[in-house]
Chain A
């Protein structure tokens, strides 16, 4: 574990800085969305750096899960709850588990370093408190309707510079459909119907290709 000693203070300092910055924003502008944005995106960047610098593939996979969770937080801020939920299920759930399976199957011999050091109280506390704080902030802003509409406006740029975007394709037509499953489904199966079909073809070819590539045993079964 060469990098671990260096990672701890780095992560702690970065997290403290992010929290301080976030609280300063809260105190300064009374803008809870801004604070959440700063905290989540800071964690996202830190986790991304740790993901690509960590030499241990298991830790890298776990940092990738953190990055995904933070990005899901950003999706929530953009009032896209379905996208966030789907990303958590697909990436933080299925893909990470697959990664870990592959890593564990690839290193079958011997016990690895991360089997012994599963207990990290300081780090666990930081993460837990962050989670608690985020949840409290969410509850606090639960009833604030204006926050929701504000985010919806932000999610829909009507103008680019001085230009007005008048094209209706690939954007929800009505404001209340933003982030709703209904609007997403409508967009997917009307505007992007052919894209969905092509993506389905792509998945079919990828899966058949994987089966075709799998080595065939002499007995005949895979």
Chain B
């Protein structure tokens, strides 16, 4: 790769640079503001929280001004998936930062906020990765700060148990993922996604190396831990139970974002080398039965176990397992689906799920007394008498989680259902049936909480204490829940922002054949011609942002007949800007 692409690569990750620089500043400054005995000035957490929000806002500004970049041989890849997930991460990062605001001591606020920023940077590195090494480092940049963030706020036994369980299993899953990556490297001879796609795509006989299925299965297993797919979900209830509410909210969302982003990234490697192109030539096709099985088991077990829970954190843990199953349905469908493609439905659902789940935990953060966090279901009994606004918001989020109409959750589930239904195979239809059945089952336990909040006599906390930042977070989540139902178009367009050259119009076989010709036409063993090898068919016609990358040239292949989505409409998506979540 040329020096130009390395030099220009720093321009592609400006939001992450901002986040990490702020992390370093907070790490550096925090010890000087804490007294010798470990006490900090009261109220200093407001300053750290404001600084974290400022950093997220600046990163969001850089994100909004970032453009899509054609698939290159550099270390980062900025396509529709990166753009969507990075924005999602920053917005939800701001929400989590607000939830965290009042839940940690003044003396630890700086470290906690800094670790949160590092986690956000890790998610963004993962999704922007163009190389297995960067992808793995991004995953670890999510995991390692998470361990500390789980252990730091509290020191009781429950919290320590949760941290140790999460640490051991997460390290184990990272090792499994790394093993899968190593085998993928062994099968293809390179860690670069473009190179891997070429190595697999040049295999016209359709005969994969024996290592490929094994490596992909290991990667799915390791990332299945992150998204709490069922055989790897065992940690979730215990860890959620022992964690403070903001950490449980973060654990229910951030690992899912990063896990699904990494899964789409790796499984989407295909001949056409378009990120979302989960057609028959991609790695996803190797493990499609595995994904379908994971989805079915995850949905069923998550919902059935959630029926029996009395602890709200455990219940939300199993609920997050069940929702991971719904999203795995989308991943299984992949790029097929006539009405809505599976991956775009999954990405849309990821945002809807994040809004409603973080909303539930934000309400819990807001109304929990500082000395006794709300953990049991009967703590919520009759809470509507003291906290009418919080109870209303909780009900909205739970209705949305159950998938009832005026909410983003309904639309997300409908998209997934339509994607599975319109895939055109029996597998897709069965997945849609099972999903509908599960949505019905899940309504039972969500509505049971609503009934407890509104109908049962009150036994819960009667203090009127409310944490203002967490209230802001939950109000934002409620507005977003409704906004995703009323005007989902802005987010849906982003979620569908496939590869900019829009493979929808060009059939996958055409792309494949043109790619195969492009690869065939090359003189082998000539790295200088690499830039021509890069899929010129997938270059966007007009690159917003104008970050020039060597190898960028006007495509002459099928994309000429395709209108690439006008990127100017990006500024309309005010629903996803981080500024709107700032207080």
Interface on A for B, CB 8 Å cutoff? 156-158, 160-171, 173, 190-195, 198-199, 201-202, 204-206, 208-210, 212-213, 216, 218-221
Do the beta carbons of B204 and A209 come within 8 Å of each other? no
Do the beta carbons of A209 and B125 come within 8 Å of each other? no
The total of Cβ contacts below 8 Å across the A-B interface reads 149
Do the beta carbons of B198 and A169 come within 8 Å of each other? no
Within 8 A of A (CB), among B165-205: 187-192, 194-195, 198-205
Do the beta carbons of A205 and B144 come within 8 Å of each other? yes
Interface membership of B566, Cβ < 8 A: no
Give the residue name and chain of the B residue nearest to A173 (CB).
B527
Interface membership of B32, Cβ < 8 A: no
Which one, B135-143, B346-354, B373-381, B390-398, is touching chain A? B135-143
Further 12 A-B residue pairs, CB within 8 A, beyond A190-B6, A209-B144:
A157-B189, A160-B209, A164-B524, A165-B195, A166-B533, A167-B195, A170-B191, A195-B137, A198-B125, A198-B137, A198-B141, A209-B152
The 9 closest A-B pairs by CB, nearest first: A167-B195, A163-B202, A220-B36, A209-B148, A168-B527, A169-B192, A198-B137, A157-B189, A164-B524
Do the beta carbons of A216 and B38 come within 8 Å of each other? yes
Give the residue name and chain of the A residue nearest to B523 (CB).
A166
Q: Which residues of B contact A220 (CB under 8 A)?
A: 35-38
Do the beta carbons of A201 and B202 come within 8 Å of each other? no
Interface membership of B25, Cβ < 8 A: no
Q: Which residues of B contact A206 (CB under 8 A)?
A: 144
Do the beta carbons of A166 and B530 come within 8 Å of each other? yes
Do the beta carbons of A191 and B138 come within 8 Å of each other? no
Interface membership of B504, Cβ < 8 A: no
Q: Which residues of B contact A216 (CB under 8 A)?
A: 38
Do the beta carbons of B131 and A209 come within 8 Å of each other? no
Within 8 A of A (CB), among B22-41: 23-24, 27, 35-38
**A162 CA to B202 CA, complexed, in Å:** 8
The contact string, 1 if C-beta is below 8 Å from chain A, for chain B 130-168, is: 010110011011001101100110000000000000000
Query: Given A198-B137, A209-B145, are A170 and B190 neighbors across the interface (CB < 8 Å)?
Result: yes
Interface membership of B290, Cβ < 8 A: no
Partner of A161, one of B108, B111, B203, B533: B203
Do the beta carbons of A205 and B141 come within 8 Å of each other? yes
**A160 CA to B251 CA, complexed, in Å:** 40
Most chain A CB within a 10 A radius of its CB, from B133, B138, B187: B133
Q: Which residues of A contact B35 (CB under 8 A)?
A: 220
Do the beta carbons of A191 and B1 come within 8 Å of each other? yes
Do the beta carbons of B125 and A164 come within 8 Å of each other? no
Do the beta carbons of A166 and B522 come within 8 Å of each other? yes
Do the beta carbons of B209 and A166 come within 8 Å of each other? no
Q: Which residues of A contact B572 (CB under 8 A)?
A: none
Do the beta carbons of A165 and B199 come within 8 Å of each other? yes
Do the beta carbons of A160 and B1 come within 8 Å of each other? no
Query: Given A164-B525, A167-B73, A170-B190, are A205 and B115 neighbors across the interface (CB < 8 Å)?
Result: yes
Query: Given A161-B209, A167-B73, are A212 and B148 neighbors across the interface (CB < 8 Å)?
Result: yes
> How far apart are A94's CB and chain B's nearest CB, in angstroms?
19
> How far apart are B144's CB and chain A's nearest CB, in angstroms?
5
Do the beta carbons of B187 and A160 come within 8 Å of each other? yes
**A192 CA to B1 CA, complexed, in Å:** 10
Most chain A CB within a 10 A radius of its CB, from B1, B3, B35, B138: B1
